[in-house]
């Protein structure tokens, strides 16, 4: 039996790049897939269901089950309709892969309100809205005596771990997803729902201009989005042991990323004084993580020319 036979999955942002690769693999492994994509450009403007329909055609041509969705996942009502589409079309829902995203890079001093709001809306609300409606469905199923054995997979970024020039909106939203994923794990675990987050390293529209090495014909391509999809499929399986975890996946490598933990504990008698802080706190400070800690130097940080445009 295929690893995901009988499972129903929604993949958002599935018309291109990572989402497309995830949808194709999930379908190949037996899942029925709702291919969701609003069809806008990398900045979030426009709407075109053609990319989603093309992925559905690929899946069906290969013998799989799929349906296209052009719902706006950051709209609460449309996110509800997306979940309803999965349930009415395929009878249930087991997997939600939150992958939709856009970019509007600019240093914070130059960023306008619309650039901030649009990125946070798509990345954070666009994860939260479908998750909320999926959780409501699974809670109803649990109330009917059916333990869902469900999985929510969120897409975060190294920009959440390290920050990046010109990506205050994007990095903040991606960091918020870690809290969202953890809250879902804590709230929904008793109903049979797992929640995990993946930071992918791959060549997509969002990473264009960051530089990837040329690959000889027939050689392994470390920037291929499909390299991330097996981890998504593993997390989508019934009975997967991972819950509340954060991963970075790029090329041939998977990093298990620790959530922030206390690395020093300092105590004083009564209230701290500035003199005590001057004396004790500097030695406890840590160097913030850098992109190379996760990317191994494969991709440079965004340059100031692009970020300040």
**Radius of gyration of the chain from Cα atoms?**
20
Give yes or no for a contact between 72 and 49, defined as CB atoms under 8 angstroms apart. no
Distances, alpha carbon 141 to alpha carbons 82, 131, 154, 188, 190, in Å: 17, 15, 22, 12, 12
Catalytic entry in 69, 118, 151, 174 = 174
d(CA 218, CA 204): 20
pTM: 0.89
Which band of pLDDT confidence, cut at 50, 70 and 90, is reported for residue 206?
Answer: low
Report the pLDDT value the prediction gives residue 100, as an integer from 0 to 100: 95
**What is the rounded average pLDDT of the residues 65-85?**
98
Report the pLDDT value the prediction gives residue 302, as an integer from 0 to 100: 42
Top-confidence residue, 124 or 209:
124
Candidate from 244-248, 272-276, 287-291 with smallest mean pLDDT: 287-291
Q: Is pLDDT above 80 for 299? A: no
Report the pLDDT value the prediction gives residue 184, as an integer from 0 to 100: 99
**What is the rounded average pLDDT of the residues 137-155?**
96
Top-confidence residue, 296 or 85:
85
Give yes or no for a contact between 304 and 217, defined as CB atoms under 8 angstroms apart. no
Top-confidence residue, 300 or 50:
50
What is the pLDDT of the chain when averaged over all its residues?
A: 91
Q: Is pLDDT above 80 for 13? A: yes
Q: What CA dihedral angle connects 110, 112, 115 and 121, to 10 degrees?
A: 130
Catalytic entry in 118, 170, 185, 199 = 170
Q: Is pLDDT above 60 for 109? A: yes
pLDDT above 90 as % of the chain: 80
Residue 2 known to be catalytic: no
Residue 125 known to be catalytic: no
Which band of pLDDT confidence, cut at 50, 70 and 90, is reported for residue 17?
Answer: very high
Q: Is pLDDT above 80 for 116? A: yes
Strand runs labelled E in 136-292: 150-155, 193-201, 246-250, 253-257
31-41 pLDDT, tens digit each: 999 999 998 66
Q: Is pLDDT above 60 for 190? A: yes
Q: Is pLDDT above 60 for 65? A: yes
Report the pLDDT value the prediction gives residue 220, as an integer from 0 to 100: 77
Top-confidence residue, 300 or 195:
195
Report the pLDDT value the prediction gives residue 254, as an integer from 0 to 100: 95
Distances, alpha carbon 69 to alpha carbons 13, 113, 192, in Å: 10, 29, 26
**What is the rounded average pLDDT of the residues 215-244?**
91
Catalytic entry in 69, 118, 151, 157 = 157
């Amino acid at each position: 039996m295929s690893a995901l036979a009988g499972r129903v999955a929604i993949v958002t942002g599935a018309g291109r790049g990572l989402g497309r690769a995830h949808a194709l693999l999930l379908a190949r492994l037996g899942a029925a897939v709702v291919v969701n994509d609003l069809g806008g450009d990398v900045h979030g403007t426009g709407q075109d269901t053609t990319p989603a329909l093309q992925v559905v055609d690929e899946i069906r041509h290969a013998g799989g089950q799929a349906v296209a969705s052009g719902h706006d996942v950051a709209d609460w009502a449309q996110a509800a309709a997306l979940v309803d589409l999965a349930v009415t079309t395929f009878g249930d829902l087991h997997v939600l892969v939150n992958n939709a995203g856009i970019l509007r890079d600019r240093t914070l001093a130059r960023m306008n309100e619309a650039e901030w709001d649009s990125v946070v809306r798509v990345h954070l609300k666009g994860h939260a809205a479908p998750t909320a409606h999926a959780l409501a469905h699974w809670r109803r199923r649990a109330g009917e005596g059916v333990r869902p054995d469900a999985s929510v997979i969120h897409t975060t970024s190294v920009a959440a771990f390290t920050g990046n020039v010109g990506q205050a909106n994007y990095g903040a939203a991606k960091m918020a997803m870690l809290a969202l994923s953890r809250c879902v794990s804590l709230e929904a675990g008793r109903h049979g729902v797992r929640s995990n987050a993946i930071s992918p390293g791959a060549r997509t529209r969002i990473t264009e201009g960051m530089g990837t090495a040329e690959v000889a014909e027939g050689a392994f391509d470390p920037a291929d989005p499909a390299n991330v999809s097996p981890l998504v499929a593993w997390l989508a399986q019934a009975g997967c042991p991972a819950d509340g975890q954060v991963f970075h996946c790029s090329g041939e490598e998977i990093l298990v990323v620790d959530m922030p933990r206390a690395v020093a504990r300092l105590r004083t008698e009564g209230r701290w004084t500035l003199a005590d802080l001057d004396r004790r706190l500097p030695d406890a400070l840590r160097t913030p993580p850098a992109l190379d800690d996760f990317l191994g130097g494969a991709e440079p940080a965004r340059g100031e020319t692009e970020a300040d445009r």
